[in-house]
Structure 1
C-alpha cells in the first residue's frame, strides 16, 4: 500500500534548513505567507527579500512561487530554468520535512483533521504541480512527459489530504455532507467496488479520469518513476500513525473523488436526459458554501485546506479544458478533469484571500472566467457568475491595490461586456508594473483590444512595443503589426495615396520580419502552431505576388486582421458598430478584380464566408449566418479547399463549429428546442472528429466547453 511517504518518493537529500518543531511551524508559516502575499501586489523583489530570510519549506515554496509566476506569465526560457531549479529545491525541502514528521510524529504539528506532515505533503504537491507546468512549457518532449507523471503523483497526495478532511468532518456531521460514515478506507463495500468498476469501464463516456492501471503498467519503462516500495504485511497499529491509506487511486476517477468528498455516494456516469441541466446529488451542498473556519482556527490547518482546494481545483480545471487534439496525448496518462468541481474548490479557496493560496485561487478563478469561459459560445446561463466575479475582483483590488493583474482582469471583464474603449482606458491606468512579465501581458492585452477596436495605427505600435518587452512570440507581434498596416493601406488606397504607400512599406517590413522570429521555439518538441500558420501565410502571399505579378502587400488575401480577431475571440467582444466595421473590411476583398472575375482561390473565399458569418451571428442575424456558412464553406468539398496552394485548411471544421453555435442560439440555449440542440451536437461532432487543422487548439477550447455544456443538457456524450 502507498502512504504519504510513498507518494512523495525519492531519497531524502541533505538540507541546509533545520527541521521545524511543532512550536516553530506556525511562526514560520505565518512569516512565509505574509511575505508571499507581496507577490500578489506586484512587490516581487520585496517578497523575495523577505522569503530569503527563512529556510523553512514554506519560505522555499514562496520563493519558488515567485519565480514560477514570472515563468508562467512570460514564457522566457532563462526564467523557466531558474524557476525549475528553485522549485526542485523547495520540493526536496518539503519531502525531507515530511519524512521527519512521519519518523517522529511527537515533534511535529498535531492536527485534529489531517495526518502528521500533511502541510509538507501539500507543499510537495504544490511544487510538483509547478514543476509539471514548467516542464510542459519547456521545449523538450521528455521533460513534458515527466511533468505529466508528476501531475499523477500530486493528485495522489491531494486526494489523501482531501479524504482526511472529509472523514473528519463527516464523523462530526459537518462539512459538505453528513451522509457518509467515518469508517476507515481499508475495506470497500461491495457497492463501492461495483461503482469503481463501472466508472472505470465507462471512462470514455464519463469524461473524468485519473491515473489508471493502464498507465501504471508502463511505468516500469520510465526512468523517472519511483521505485516500488516493499512493504511487509503488518498488524494494524493500535494508535494513529500519521498516515492515510487511500482508496484505490489507480482506479479512481477525479469525478469519483469529488463526489465522494461531498456525498459519499457512487457517481453516475450517465448525463441527465430530462431536457435540463443535470442536477448534483440532492444531499450535496456546494463545496464552497462550507467554511472550514467554523471547525478550526489552526493556521496550519487553514493553510492545508486552502492549498488543497487551490491545487486540486486547478488540476481538475486545467484537465477539463484541454482541447480535443491535445487530449489524445493526455489520454496516455488517463487524465481528464471536471470543470465544475474545479471551480467549486477554487471558489472555496478564495475565502482565504489574505494568503497566497487564496490569492492565487482568486487570480485563477478570474483569469479562467474572463480569459476563457467568457469567450466561449456554447455555455450555460450560470457559466459566468458576473456578480460574484465582480465582487471577488473588488475585494482583490482592495487587498492588493498595487497589482496590475487585477486591472487586467477588470479590463477583460469590460471587454467581455463589449466595452472595449473602457477596457483600453483601464489598462492605461496606474503606470508600468515593476514586474516586467505583468507589464508585457498588460501591453499585449491592450494591443488586442486596439485591434478589435480597428485602431490599427495604435495597435501596430503597441504590438511592436511588445517585441522589446518579452520573447514570448515576436513573430506574432510582427505579424499583427504588419496586418494592421495592410488594413491601413487598403483604407487609404483611394483617399490618401501617400499614407497608403507609407503603410504598405511598413506592412512589407513587419511581415517579412516574421519568418526570422519564428520556428525557434518548441512546445513538447513540436514547432508552435502559430509559427507554422504565419510562415505558411507569408509563403502563400509571396507565391501570389509572383503569380499575379503584383507587390507583396497587394497579394495579401482576406483581411488578416479580421482573421486574427476571430482566433483571439475578438468578434465576441465587439459592439454592433465594430462588427459592421469588420464586415466592411471583409468587403474590400470582394471588390477586387480576382473576386469580380471569380478567379479567387476557394480557400480564400471560404475564409471570407466564415468570418462574415461569424460577424452576422453576433449581430443576431442567424439565418444569414447559416446561409453564408452553407454556401460559402460547407457546400464545397473540404479536399478541394485543402488542395489550394498553401491552403488555409481550417475553414470546413471551424464552419461546422460555427453552425453548431448558430443552432445553439436558434434553439434558445440550454433549455431550448431539443431537436435543434441535437443538430447542434451533430455539427459539433464533425469538428471534434476532424483531423488536425490550422490553429485547432484555439478553437479546441471552445469545442471542449461546448461539448461539456451539451452533455450537462443531456445532449450527446463526451
Structure 2
C-alpha cells in the first residue's frame, strides 16, 4: 500500500515498478489498481485489456488466499473484529468492482452484464464484512439503534445468512465463487434451493431468484453442500455512517482499519454511482435490483476520507483508501452535482470541500489530479479565467499521459465557455494525440469553434473568415471517419450518433440551399455543446450576456444570418431553449419561461420531429428548463408548494419523454432534481 500511494502523486511508473516486486494479493490489487486508473482515465482499449488481465490475477490471488485462510486461520491476519480471511475478501471485492467497470467499458453487452453480476457479488461480500463489524461493535457495547458507525443496515436479512455466526458472535467468511466460474457462467450451475415449489419454463438468468448465491459461503466445504440463499436487494440498504465516530478509537490494528475504510469506500462509491444513473439506464440496473442512496454514499465516502494521515508512522493501508475516497468525493461534487440545477441549499458543502482539497494538495503537491479538482471547483464558482490559470500551472509537470489528456480536455472546455474559440479548437486537436477514446468529439468541438470564428469575421475580415470556414469543414467532416470505433454495452456511443446526424444535416442543407457547408450550419453548435457540458452555469454575467447576444443576433441580424426567416422549426426550438437557459442564469426567469412557451411549446411536436435530420432534444429539455425556472421561482425547497408541484410535473414529462442522443448528459440533472423534490415532499 505504501508503493500504491505513489499513484496519487502521479508517479505511476514508480508505483507499478515497486508493486511488481511482490506477489501477495495486496501487491496484485495495488498493481491492478494502477493499471485500472490508467484505463478509466484514458478509455484506451489496449490499456483496458491489460487492466482486465491484471484484475483477474488479483481476483484469483485473493480467492486462493481467502480459501487458505478459511481452511487454516493461522495463515491469515488474526482480528478481533473480522473473520479469518476478511482482508482477502475485501481485496476480492475491490477487484470485482474494478472488473465490473472494465466490463461495462469493454464495448460488449455480454461483458457488461457479467460486470453487473460481479458488482452484485462484490456487494454481498462488503455486506458480510460490515455485518461482522457490527457484531463486534454490539459485543463491546459500541453499537446501538442510534449509532451511526454502521456502514450498512436494513439489507434484506437473508443476505446475512452467508455468515455463519457462532455463539460468541464471531463470523466465518468463506471464499466466494471462483473467478473461472464467473467467466464461464453468470450463475452457479449446481444449486440446492430452499423453496417449497419449483418453477417451470424459462427463468430469467438475471432475476433475483436466479442470482442469489452471492455470499462468501459459495466455496465452503464440500462443493455439493447446500449453500444459503441470499437475495441482494439494495433498496434501503444503508444506514448513516457517522462522520463524528472515528473507528481508530475502536482499534489500532492497521489491517482492521484497512478493512473498515475499504468497506466504507467501496460501499460509498457503489451507492453514489447507482444514485447517479440516468432514468433510462436505471431500467437495466433494475434487473439486478440495484438502487442507490446518494446521501448514504457520500456519508461513507466522507467517513473513509478521514484517514488521511498515517498513525505511528506505519499505517498506510487506510491512507490509500482515504485518498481514493477524497478524490471520488471531490470529483462528484465538482464534476457532477455542482452543475445540477434543482438542489437543496445544503447540497454542496463548499467550505468542507475546500478543506479536503487543501489537505490533499498538501499531501500530494505534485499530482495533477488535485489541480484538476481545484480548477473544477473554481469553474463551479464561475471563476473560469482563474480555473484556466490553475490548469496551465500543471503544464510543465511530469505525469501520467491520461491525466495530461484530462488536463487538456478541462482547459479546452473552459476556453469554450470563455468564448476563446481558437484556444479551444487547438486544445481539442491536441487531445487527439493524447487519448483514443472519442476523436469524433474532439474534431467536432474543434470544428464548431471554427464555425464561430468564421461567423465573427465573415463581414469584417473575409479572408480570415474563409480560412476558418475551411478549417470548420475539414474538422467536422473528419467526424465521419472517427465514429463507430468505440462503443458502450455493445452500442454506438450516443455522441457519435449525435455528431454524424448533425454533420449530415448540414451537408444536406448545403446541397439543398446551394451554399457553402459552413453557411448551412444552423443555430450555434458551440452554444449547444456549452449546454450539454453544463457550461452556462460556469459563466459569469458578462459571459452569459455575450452568449445571449450571439444567440439573439443569429435570429435578428440579417447580415449575420439572411436565412432565418425560412428556418425550420427544430432550429427555432433549439434557439429558444439556449436563449431561455441564458436568461435563467441571468436571473430573468419570467423571460426564460416565456421564451420556452413561445419558442418551443408553440410548435407542434410532430412538426419538429418531421424536420430533416431533426434536432428533437429541445422537446424534453424545454420541460427540464421550465422545471428549473419553477424551482427558482418558488425560491427552492422552502418555496410555494404549488409551484414546486408544477416543477415536479415538468420533471415527470422529462422522465417520460422519448429518448434522444445526448440524454445521458442531462440524465444526472433529472435524477438529482427528482431526488431533491422527493426530499421536499413533492
CA distance, structure 2, for counterparts of residue 686 and residue 588 of structure 1: 31
Match of 1:250 in 2: 231
The 5 A counterparts of 1:539-578 are 539-578=504-543
SS in 1 for 2:23: coil
Q: Does 1:303 align with 2:268?
A: no
Q: 1:180 to 1:548 in 2, by over 3 A?
A: closer
Counterpart of 2:354 in structure 1 is 390
Distance in structure 2 (CA, Å) of the matches to 1:386 and 1:468: 35
Deviations 1:306-342 (A, max 9, x none): 1001111101111110001111111111112100111
- 1:176 CA drift (Å): 7.4
Deviation of the 1:619 alpha carbon = 0.1
> How much has 1:192 moved relative to structure 2?
8.8
Aligned positions of 1:166-177 closer than 5 A: 166-174=134-142, 177=145
1:363 paired with 2:327, answer yes
Deviation at 1:106, TM superposition (A): 2.9
> Could you say which residue in structure 2 is the equivalent of 1:236?
none
2:632 counterpart of 1:662: no
How far apart are residue 623 of structure 1 and its match? 0.1
Structure 1 range deviating more: 335-344 or 581-590: 581-590
Q: Distance in 1 between matches of 2:398 and 2:16?
A: 17
* Offset of residue 583 of structure 1: 1.0
Check the 8 A contact 2:44/2:435 in 1, yes or no: yes
SS at match of 2:238: helix
Q: Counterparts of 1:623 and 1:496 in 2: how far apart (Å)?
A: 38
Corresponding residue number in structure 2 for 1:321: 276
Matched residue, 2:600? 633
- Within a 5 Å distance, the mapping from 1:112-261 to structure 2 comes to 112-174=80-142, 177=145, 223-228=185-190, 249-250=230-231, 252-255=233-236, 257-259=237-239
Moved over 6 A (4+): 179-182, 191-194, 219-222, 245-248, 594-597
When residues 179 and 322 of structure 1 are mapped into structure 2, their CA distance, relative to the original with a 3 A threshold, is closer
Cα shift readout 1:661-684 (whole Å, capped 9, x = no counterpart): 000011011111111100000000
Q: Write the mapping of 1:645-660 to structure 2, written as runs, cut at 5 A.
A: 645-660=612-627
**SS at 2:306 equivalent:** helix
Residue 448 of structure 1 pairs with residue 416 of structure 2: no
Per-residue CA deviations over 1:165-202 (Å, capped at 9, x if unaligned) read: 122113333257566999xx9xx9xx9989x9xxxxxx
Q: How many residues align?
A: 618
Q: Deviations over 1:500-533 (max 9, x none)?
A: 1111111111111111111221111100000000
Question: Residues of 2 paired with 1:606 and 1:630: CA distance?
Answer: 10
In 1, the alpha carbon distance for the partners of 2:652 and 2:329 equals: 29
Aligned-pair CA distance for 1:156: 0.3
After superposition, where does 1:441-590 map in structure 2 within 5 Å? 441-590=406-555
> Do the aligned partners of 1:175 and 1:292 also contact (CA within 8 Å) in 2?
no
Deviation (angstroms), 1:224: 2.8
Q: Determine which of 23, 26, 31 is the counterpart of 1:58.
A: 26
Aligned residues of 1:170 and 1:181 also touching (Cα < 8 A) = no
TM-score by length of 1: 0.83
When residues 334 and 296 of structure 1 are mapped into structure 2, their CA distance, relative to the original with a 3 A threshold, is: same
Q: CA deviation at 1:251?
A: 5.7
Q: Deviations over 1:545-587 (max 9, x none)?
A: 0111110000000001000000000000000010111112212
Q: Which is bigger in relative contact order (C-alpha 8 A, separation at least 6)?
A: 1
Secondary structure in 1 matching 2:414: helix
| In 2, Cα distance between equivalents of 1:141 and 1:555 | 38
The 5 A counterparts of 1:384-423 are 384-423=348-387
Asked if the contact 2:437–2:486 (Cα under 8 Å) also holds between the matched residues in 1, the reply is no
- The residue aligned with 2:342 is 378
Rounded to whole Å, the distance in 2 between the matches of 1:346 and 1:652 is: 37
Q: CA 1:193 to 1:161, structure 2 compared with 1: closer, same or farther past 3 Å?
A: closer
Which whole-Å CA distance do the structure 1 matches of 2:156 and 2:412 have between them?
Answer: 53
Matched, 1:344 2:299: yes
Contact 1:567 1:698 in 2 (8 A): yes
> C-alpha displacement at 1:433, in angstroms?
3.8
Whole-angstrom distance in 1 between the partners of 2:54 and 2:302: 28
For the aligned residues, what is the CA RMSD?
2.6
**Which deviates the most, 448-457 or 518-527?**
518-527
For the pair 1:330 / 2:285, whether they are aligned, the reply is yes
Partners of 2:564 and 2:473 in 1: how far apart?
26
Residue 192 to residue 503, structure 1, CA distance change in 2 (3 Å)? closer
* CA distance in structure 2 between the partners assigned to 1:608 and 1:167 by the alignment: 60
Mapped to 2, the partners of 1:381 and 1:529 lie a distance apart of 33
Equivalent residue number for residue 245 of structure 2: 290
Between the aligned partners of 1:703 and 1:109, the Cα distance in structure 2 is 46
**Superimposed CA distance per residue, residues 573-611 of structure 1 (whole angstroms, 9 cap, x where no aligned partner):** 000010111112212321365776631010000000000
Aligned to 1:6: none
